[in-house]
A = this chain, B = another copy of it.
Amino acid sequence: MDIALNTTHNFLSKIATNDGHGENSPYFDGWKAYDSDPYHHETNPSGVIQMGLAENQLCFDLIQEWIGNHPEASICTPQGGFDFKEIALFQDYHGLPEFRSAIANFMSRVRGSRVQFDPDRIVMSGGATGAHETLAFCLANRGEAFLVPTPYYPGFDRDLKWRTGVELIPVVCESSNNFKVTLGALEEAYDKAKESNIKVKGLLITNPSNPLGTFYDKETLKTLVDFINEKNIHLVCDEIYAGTVTRENEFVSIAEVLEEFPTICDHNLIHIVYSLSKDMGFPGFRVGIIYSFNDTVVNIARKMSSFGLVSTQTQHMVASMLSENDFVDNFIKESRNRLAHRHDMFTRELAQVGIGSLESNAGLFFWMDLRRFLKEPTFESEMTFWRTIISEIKLNVSPGSSFHCNEPGWFRVCFANMDDATVMVALERIKSFVHETRMLEIKTMAKIKTKKQCWQNNLQLKLSSRRLEDIMSPQYSPLNSPMLRAQN
């Protein structure tokens, strides 16, 4: 068996055989569990509900209405068909000029039009996945590294490391500090790399954060920029969730920091990753964007984009859609509102049964605190409990360990990839589980007491259901966490 494995290893490449794709993570295992038993309200009402997928399904009615009113946006309609040949043949890696302009316009409007983007710096890629790999290829050699604050998106291990040979070094963030990135943690990670003779070439942040659903305030961003400028390393800002921020005016793009403080750093160090997969909800269309302030990176990344250009059919449609400002502004506003409503409803309901989450107002997910449910504060316990969630509560949420979180007991919950009815089913299942757990706890406590105080036996078993509900309300809950999200 060993011989066969070795033969395979020689026969194919190390990359093909090194598991660097990362699909053996629980993050993807959860997807498989969902795939094998997917919930459907009629055909499989006891199936697994997919809450591990950061999809944005809440505004497709607006998009479909626009599509219906704009047949010219398609090269497959009589109105747009005269462009078919021209579009099908267009393979310039600069992209359609109108596509780049529309993307620059959209990026600006998503950021409240507080900053402009130059269409000539828009580089295409195969989704944010391709954008991250391209930047890693451009900025670092094999064995060199990027710092990444934890918890971080599991796909980064595939995107930045697998084929490039680049390393990711965690910057440890902690719940005691609401998972904020501190200068101390950055310096510690940097020094640790240095001690291991690993050259650090950059810092990668997601802003807003996946999985936290939080975003960086301006002061923190300035601290990060000072840090990378002092070290003369790159800063890659993944802003693919910029349009999901519910408190619009509070979000600060790295582009705004550069505009407000132009001398704060060497602009050649700053690169943004963007995408239409989250803010527009178009992951199937594979629109990834690199926006670099470094001319050489723009030039080289554009040449690399040949490995993952956006279909011109899609470029054409996106160009039409995102250059129409009334539609864009209304879409962004409505999307923010619907996401906020869903987020608040979900976290409020959970809070009522004593389940807390990190305070957040961005992303298509929140960061749920289930630390109190673990038998022990270990990742083994987290995995045991996660298996319970999948197999008994029948929800695919993603365990914090798959996001390289350093504290067991946190889970990412996606809330925008389902309809309202499914949300209610998911909430009911969670509530039932909490209820049953409390019942079990009470029974266990009762047994303990029984052993100690046999004479109280009958009394314990006569607790009324009314009394149980009282115990389970938040004010009585032992599960209350200081991280519990404030309901505004």
Q: Which residues of A contact B (CB under 8 A)?
A: 8, 11-16, 21, 23, 55, 57, 60, 63-64, 67-68, 70-71, 73-78, 81, 84-85, 87-91, 126-127, 129-130, 133, 137-142, 144, 158, 163-164, 232, 268, 277, 281-286, 296-297, 300, 303-304, 306-314, 317
Q: Given A76-B74, A139-B16, A311–B284 Cβ distance below 8 Å?
A: yes
Chain B residues with Cβ below 8 Å from A14 are 141
The contact of A137 among B15, B139, B268, by CB within 8 Å, is: B15
A303 touches B23 (CB 8 A): yes
Q: Are B133 and A307 interface neighbours, CB within 8 A?
A: yes
**Chain B residues with CB under 8 A of A87:** 284
- Pick the most buried of A70, A158, A300: most chain B CB atoms within 10 A of its CB: A300
Q: Are B312 and A284 in contact (CB under 8 A)?
A: yes
Task: Report yes or no: A137 in contact with B163, Cβ–Cβ below 8 A.
Answer: yes
With the chains together, A137 CA to B307 CA distance in Å? 13
Chosen A-B contacts, 16 in total, with CB atoms closer than 8 Å, are: A13-B139, A13-B141, A15-B137, A15-B141, A16-B139, A64-B81, A68-B78, A68-B81, A89-B281, A89-B284, A126-B308, A130-B307, A163-B304, A286-B308, A307-B307, A313-B313
Is there contact, CB below 8 Å, between B158 and A306? yes
Contacts of A307 in B (CB 8 A): 126, 129-130, 133, 163, 307-308
> Which chain B residues lie closer than 8 Å to A312 at the CB level?
284-285
User: Shortest CB–CB separation between residue A413 and chain B, in angstroms?
Assistant: 19
Contacts of A303 in B (CB 8 A): 21, 23, 158
CB contacts (< 8 Å) of A68 on chain B: these are 78, 81
In the complex, which residues of chain B have a beta carbon less than 8 angstroms from the beta carbon of A283? 88-91
Asked if B88 and A297 sit within 8 Å, CB to CB, the answer is no
Q: How far is the CB of A260 from chain B (nearest CB, A)?
A: 25
Is A314 within 8 A of B317, CB to CB? no
- Measured between C-beta atoms, what is the minimum distance from A308 to chain B in Å? 4
Across the interface, do B77 and A138 meet the contact criterion of CB distance under 8 Å?
no
Cβ–Cβ < 8 Å partners of A55 in chain B:
89
**Do A76 and B85 contact each other (CB < 8 Å), given the known contacts A307-B308, A313-B284?**
no
- Known contacts A73-B76, A74-B74; 6 further A-B pairs (Cβ under 8 A): A13-B144, A15-B141, A16-B138, A21-B303, A60-B88, A126-B307
User: What is the distance, in angstroms, from A58's C-beta to the closest C-beta of chain B?
Assistant: 11
A308 touches B64 (CB 8 A): no
Q: In the complex, A297→B13 CA distance in Å?
A: 10
Chain B residues with CB under 8 Å of A91's CB are: 277, 283-284
Complex contact A67–B81 (CB within 8 A): yes
**With a CB–CB cut-off of 8 A, which chain B residues contact A309?**
126-127, 286
The answer to whether A12 and B84 touch (CB under 8 A), given A74-B74, A126-B308, A283-B91, is no
Instruction: Report how far A60 CA is from B317 CA in the complex, Å.
Output: 20
CA distance A323 to B60 in the complex (A): 28
Going nearest first, the 5 A-B pairs with the smallest beta carbon separation are A284-B312, A74-B76, A308-B308, A311-B311, A91-B283
- Given contacts A88-B285, A282-B88, A307-B126, are A296 and B12 in contact (CB under 8 A)? yes
A277 closest partner in B (C-beta): B91
